Every structure is written in structure tokens, then in C-alpha cells.
Structure 1
Amino acid sequence: MIQSDFTYDPFAPEVMANPLPYYRTLRDEYPVYYLDKWDTYALSRFDDIWEVLGITDGTFVASEGTLPAATVLADHNDGPVPDPPLHPMPFHANFDSPIYETVRRCTSAQFRPRSAARLADRIRILANERLDELLPRGTFDLTQDYAGIVAAAMVCEFVGLPADLAPDVLATVNAGSLAQPGEGVEIGNARPGYLSYLTPIVARRRAAGADGTVVIADSLIDFRLPDGSAFTDMEAAVQMLGVFIGGTETVPKITATGLWQLHRHPDQLAAVRCDLAGNVPIAREEIIRHSAPAQWFARTVRRPYTIHDTTITPGQRVITLLASAARDEREYDHPDDFVWNRPIERLLSFGRGQHFCLGVHVARLEITIMIEEWLKRVPDYHIVEQAASRPPSSFQWGWNSIPVEV
């Protein structure tokens, strides 16, 4: 395909500032767009991404990470990329089956549907404790002060940290997702700030006997790799990154942005208020589609794959633009509009296939409860739009700060 003077690079400053116009051009004109600098193809249409992420036979692997930084992509591969060595063990998402699934099971018990449902009362308590403290202030930040603290407190409890560390955890994760233009973010390469929380948890649990009280850490301590070896404290801590980062970063931005969107559409807000228990879960799905901040995830091709008459060869990469799929006119009517009760048959915001979001059930529950409790207790509110901020990002392009007045 001959490309015009249009260029797309997820790490370019102008793309990081606002990728949506680029996604539209990609969908309309370049559904399989080649980034020569990174030897990578960008997929922008819903159906194409749905198909690719549904392939779990080893054609696509995450050996180089699901969110590789520019320094990783700059090194072009000459053929298939093998799984990393077992030690030192990187984040388990970098491995193909069966290692990926078996390690993932160590971290998944609390996030399964039945286990997640039992968390509702705890989430509701945390949400109302925050509202008890915040509402008398009159002015505060929806993303950081309300939704961020509730989500981070839940993460603390999942990994075995005191809930009162939630503000520190939230600040650490927010800082870790920021990136300079041209660099990107690599979640799989743990930043020291993350491990300063997680490694001591593993060490304490190992010393205490890892009796299952702290489910994730204890399961990782007891886990054995195919060669019979165990994780070191740091290796076990690295496997906790998905919970630590994913649970802290995304839910607050979706929740706060959803309340902003409802405020922008008073008729829709009134409709949702008519039946909070019935309508908030419906609105939640549109909020997730419209406002989920994660932009893309990557795979490396291990077997040749052809799409739209383009063959991607082993060693080349594919980035699936989930945020573009969420605005694809081929899947959703008038996708740039916010419609609280939009019929949504398929959604890619949580991914699909092998790497489908571990915390999807907890995330949906947290978003629902935080919006419900807010709308129960706050009859009127005003978003200070001119003070809201969304830092440029190649990955988490979301509203880090949404000031509100009640």
C-alpha cells in the first residue's frame, strides 16, 4: 500500500496529545498501517482487532511485552522471538502458553466472578468513607481524591498493603505511566517505585509461612516453574504488577470521566437517576467504551499472518489500537457521541483472548458502585472543565485530574 504524507507514530508528541484524529484516518484509509521505524503494523478497526486478539494458537505472542517501549521496538527482529529465559523472571505476560496461564492463575482467584461479587460491600464502604470526607470540602478532584483513592485502597488490600497507603500507591502508579515523547511506557519492566511496595510483601509472607492469608503473594511463593524452580522475592513481586498497576490506574479515570460525561448531558443524567440500580450498569458500559484510557497493546508475530492482503512476518509486531476500535463507525453508530443506553454487543476496552483483563469483574463493580453512591449522595455538581488535565501519553491517555464542585 502506498502511504501519503500522513504519518502515525504512537510516541509522536502530537499523537500523544490527541490520538483520536489519527485513529479516524487510520480506520478510513490505512487499516493496516506500517510503521517502518518500529517494524510494526498498527490495526485500527474493531473487526480486525477482534479477530487478531481472538487468535490464541501461538501466532501472536507477548515475548517483548504487551506494551513495549520505543527502545524495544527500535530493535528489529530477524525471525521469531523466543520466550524469555525463566530467570530472572520478567512479568508473566511476556510468556506464551502454558507459563502465562499458570502464573496468571496465582493472581486471579480474587478476581473471578463469584469472588468479585463478594467485594461489593467493601467497595461501597470505601466509596462512602471517601464521600464523607470529601463532600464537606465542596471542591476536590474526582479522579484523584474520590475514585483514585477507592481503587487504590482495594489494590492495597488485594496485594497485602495497608489501605491507608492508597494515596502513596496512587501517586506512584500515576507517575509511572507518564512518558516523554518518543519513549513510551513498558509496564513489564518494573520501576523501582513499584517494587519498593511489592518485594517487601513477598519477603514478609515467605517469612510468615505463606499460609494463603495474602492470596496473591502466597500463591506466587508456592508456585513452581516447569523446571521446578521457585520465584525469588523480586520475581514474585514482578508478577504482581498487573494487579498493582492495572487496578490503580484505569478505574479512577473511567469513573471520573463517566460522571463528567453525565454532567455534560443533563437529560441523560436525569434518565440514569430514575433507576440507579438498573441504569448505572447500562451507562457504565457506554462510559467504558467512550472513555477507557488505554490506547493500545502489542503482540509480536511468531507465525506469518495475512490481513487485508498484507502478510506480517515472524518477528514483526502488531499494535492493536483498542481506543480506535471503540470509536469505529463500523461497530457503533455515531461513536464520538456519548449515549448512556447505547446498545453494545461487543467491547474491546478490556481486551480479548489470552490477555483479557484479569480484573474486569472487579473493575466493572468498582465503577458501578462509585457512580451509584455518588449519584445517591450528590444531587447537583459542577465539573470545573477549564481546570481538568489530561497529560500526553502513548498509553494511558486519560483525565488525571477532573476538579468538581458540589
Structure 2
Amino acid sequence: MNSPVIQDFSYDPFDPAVMADPLSYYRVLRDEHPVYYVPKWDVYALSRFADIWDVLARNDGTFVASEGTLPSSAVLGVHNTGPVSDPPLHPMPFHANFDSPLYEDVRRCTSGPLRPKPVTSLTDRIRRLANERLDELLPRGRFDLTQDYGGIVAATIVCELCGLPTELAADVLAAVNAGSQAQPGSGVEVANARPGYLDYLRPVVERRRAGTGDPVAIVDGLLNYRLPDGSGLSDVEAAVQMLGVFIGGTETVPKIVAHGLWELHRHRDQLAAVRADLDANVSVAREEMIRFCAPAQWFARTVRRPFTIHDTTMQPGQRLITLLGSAGRDGREYDDPDAFVWNRPIERLLAFGRGQHFCLGVHLARLEITIMVTEWLKRVPDFQVDPAAAERPPSSFQWGWSSIPVEV
């Protein structure tokens, strides 16, 4: 292993100061330390777009997620002395912790409703939900753009995908928010399903195993799946595999919608340009919103085979974190990257990841963002943001606005 050079500059993804304002750290990393070693965690951080783009495209077993994609400091604090194997099949953790082909096999069980054609069929439903929320919110005059608008719409769709009553949308949203607002260093160990996620999902699995209730494509696919040893998934194991949809479908889109609308509000000329032709322009502005506003900052992999980049060799058992938040602000990929430009040409985007772990819900996310932004701009001629009351609470891996109060 190469001997890392100690620098005056210090970066640690679990440092609260970093997560409070990561962009200044990213600039230094990209310019001076494209491969940065953190001895405490035996972790290398990649910060440049092109490097992350190439690394995430590798699907040859060089990198695995067997220690989780968002490991805690407790996990990283134990340094490995060699390659890390996949977890045991039972009790089965979240399938992202496995390498090919098991990871792809289980992922396919949950992917059916999230493919392009089924997602397109949700267009009218999402539009109706967005307008129902606006019917309720606009008379209030003041409300939270992240939670009250985007949050409830996204959580309602997640409830429907997971076979939950839509009346639970507000509870699901609150539970997922509580799980993501974790102190830096705590990680997001989805297998532990905090805080009580499985209390929502396990009963759905139990009903479908008993043959009661309406069909739920995601659940039914998981119950029909057989592991390489011929065994099936228990109720809890099947529920755990649903967490990617349950968590990811609930928390990310509302933050992008609210923050994206705030950026348009800050740039009135851009807002006017988008309004000029909503059907044509919102889908263009959406991509810039995703680049500029996506809350997830990093994801981890564990090295299984030696890998060299920028004259640095990572050894099996060491960890790598890909700083997606930094990649989205890399001037080598985007001109003037710290500016919000609604019609910026975007040929490549990393906010949804890339390769094996590319976001399962990307098509649904893009559709929800497009519809919620469009319906808002159709119905709200003007609005004011209360920046002093907006909140970005501590998080282990996110840097997103969980609350953006607005007045209309």
C-alpha cells in the first residue's frame, strides 16, 4: 500500500464541520487531493467527476458494497486485513451488500413497477396528487415546501408501490426523515431498519404470503424469489429488500423539488424563462435541479481487488467513498459549476449514481420532479421563501434542505 502523505488540509466525511458546509472541502479535494486518504477509517475519497464516473462503471468485482453503501464509523473503525466476503444468506441484509449476481437478481424483484412504462402510467396519478396538495396548501398562505408539498406527494406514491394505505403517507415521511437526520458518523445501516421502518413493511409481506390483500408487485416478486441455496426470503428479509424503495422514494425528490424552486425564485430571469414554456422547459430545468440540489453527498464501496488511480493503489479490504456531491460541482465537467443555470447543457450526471448501483427509482424521480415543479409554476404566480427559517439539519451523508418555508 502507498504511504499516504499527511497534509495541512484535513477531510473526514464524519466531521460535522464538513457535513455542515461540504462544498469548500470539495474544492480543495478536487484541486489538490483527487485521491485523499483518511487513515482513521482506512478510506480513500474520490472527488473528481471523471474519476467517479469511471470507478462506478466497474462491475467486475473490484469494488463491492458488502460493508454497506453508507457504513457507520463503527464499521469503518475496524480496519480489514484483506478482501471482505459477501454476508451470509440468512439472515439476509439489504441486497445491495451482495456482489453479482445475487444483487441484480434481488434488485429485479423490486424493479418491475419502476421501469419506464409502468412509471409513465403514473403520470395522471402524480399530477392529481400534486394538485390535491396545492388545493389544501395554497389557502393556508404559509407552509413547508419540502415536507407539506413534495414530501406528501412522494410518500403517497411510495405507499402505493409498497402496498400501504395512503393515509400513512405523513407517518412514512416522518419516519424516513427521522432516519436520515442522523449525526455525522452514525451511518445509514438499512439492515437495522431504523427507526421502525419494518413496522410498516413487514405486515404487507405477511398479508401477501397469506394470499390476502391486493397484489403488490414488489412484495410478490420477493416472495417468489429463491436464493442460490434454494431457500426463500423470510417476511423480515423480504421487508428489508423493500427499504430502497421505501427510503429512497420518500426523501430525495421532495428536497430537489423544494430547493430547485427556491433556486428559480432566487433567479427571477430564469424563473421567467422556464415559465415561458413549461412543457418544454421544466424537463430541462429538472436536470439542473438534480445536479445542483441532490442531497446525497457520498456512497462507499469496499475494495476487493487491487486498484490503482492517480498513482495510488488501494488494497483489498480498504474502503473507497465516491463524493457525488463534489462530482456535481466539478468545473472539469461543468462550466461555472457553483452557479444555478436552468438550461445548462448536461451530458453526464452522477446524482443518481452509475453502474451496478444506479438508482432504481430514477424514472419515477424524474417524473415526480417534472410534474411537481410544473403544477407549482402553473398555479403559484408568486411566492416568497423564508430563508431564515429554512433548515438543513445534521446528517451522516446528506446536505439537503429538509424544510423550506414559503408564503404564497
Aligned-partner residue type, residue 295 of structure 2: P
Q: Is 1:113–2:116 an aligned residue pair?
A: yes
Residue 258 of structure 1: aligned partner: 260
SS at match of 2:308: strand
Alignment of 1:58-207 (within 5 A): 58-207=61-210
**Whole-angstrom CA distance in 2 between matches of 1:363 and 1:357:** 9
SS at match of 1:80: coil
**Whole-angstrom CA distance in 1 between matches of 2:402 and 2:281:** 26
Pairing partner for 2:380 from 378, 381, 388: 378
Q: CA deviation at 1:185?
A: 2.5
Aligned-partner residue type, residue 20 of structure 2: A
Residue 302 of structure 2: aligned partner: 300
Gap regions ≥5 residues in structure 1: none
Pairing partner for 1:342 from 341, 344, 350: 344
Gap regions ≥5 residues in structure 2: none
| Per-residue Cα deviation, 1:97-133 (whole angstroms, up to 9, x for no partner) | 1100000001000111111111111100100000000
| Per-residue Cα deviation, 1:208-257 (whole angstroms, up to 9, x for no partner) | 268x8110111111111011101110000000000000000100000000
Residue 19 of structure 1: aligned partner: 22
The 8 Å contact of residues 178 and 195 in structure 2, kept in 1 or not, is answered as no
Residue 359 of structure 2: aligned partner: 357
Residue 29 of structure 1: aligned partner: 32
**Whole-angstrom CA distance in 2 between matches of 1:279 and 1:188:** 40
SS at match of 1:136: helix
The 8 Å contact of residues 91 and 238 in structure 1, kept in 2 or not, is answered as yes
The 8 Å contact of residues 67 and 188 in structure 1, kept in 2 or not, is answered as no
Q: Is 1:403–2:370 an aligned residue pair?
A: no
SS at match of 2:210: helix
The 8 Å contact of residues 178 and 185 in structure 1, kept in 2 or not, is answered as no
Q: CA deviation at 1:189?
A: 3.0
SS at match of 1:33: strand
| TM-score using structure 1 length | 0.98
The 8 Å contact of residues 329 and 338 in structure 2, kept in 1 or not, is answered as yes
| Per-residue Cα deviation, 1:186-213 (whole angstroms, up to 9, x for no partner) | 2343225101101111011111268x81
Identity between Structure 1 and Structure 2 (%): 74
Aligned-partner residue type, residue 330 of structure 1: R
Aligned-partner residue type, residue 80 of structure 2: N
SS at match of 1:336: coil
Residue 285 of structure 2: aligned partner: 283
Q: CA deviation at 1:298?
A: 0.5
Q: CA deviation at 1:43?
A: 0.2
The 8 Å contact of residues 175 and 195 in structure 2, kept in 1 or not, is answered as no
**Whole-angstrom CA distance in 1 between matches of 2:187 and 2:209:** 35
SS at match of 1:311: strand
| Per-residue Cα deviation, 1:346-394 (whole angstroms, up to 9, x for no partner) | 0000000000000000000000000000000001111111110101223
Q: Is 1:52–2:81 an aligned residue pair?
A: no
SS at match of 2:396: coil
Q: CA deviation at 1:319?
A: 0.2
SS at match of 2:302: strand
Residue 330 of structure 1: aligned partner: 332
The number of residues matched between the two structures is 405
**Whole-angstrom CA distance in 2 between matches of 1:57 and 1:142:** 42
**Whole-angstrom CA distance in 2 between matches of 1:14 and 1:162:** 40
Alignment of 1:190-229 (within 5 A): 190-208=193-211, 213-229=215-231
Residue 312 of structure 2: aligned partner: 310
**Whole-angstrom CA distance in 2 between matches of 1:341 and 1:3:** 41
**Whole-angstrom CA distance in 2 between matches of 1:62 and 1:200:** 28
- Segments of 4+ moved more than 4 angstroms: none
SS at match of 1:299: strand
The 8 Å contact of residues 180 and 396 in structure 2, kept in 1 or not, is answered as no
The 8 Å contact of residues 295 and 394 in structure 1, kept in 2 or not, is answered as no
Aligned-partner residue type, residue 49 of structure 1: I
Aligned-partner residue type, residue 22 of structure 1: Y
| Per-residue Cα deviation, 1:240-297 (whole angstroms, up to 9, x for no partner) | 0000000001000000000000000000000000000100000000000001000001
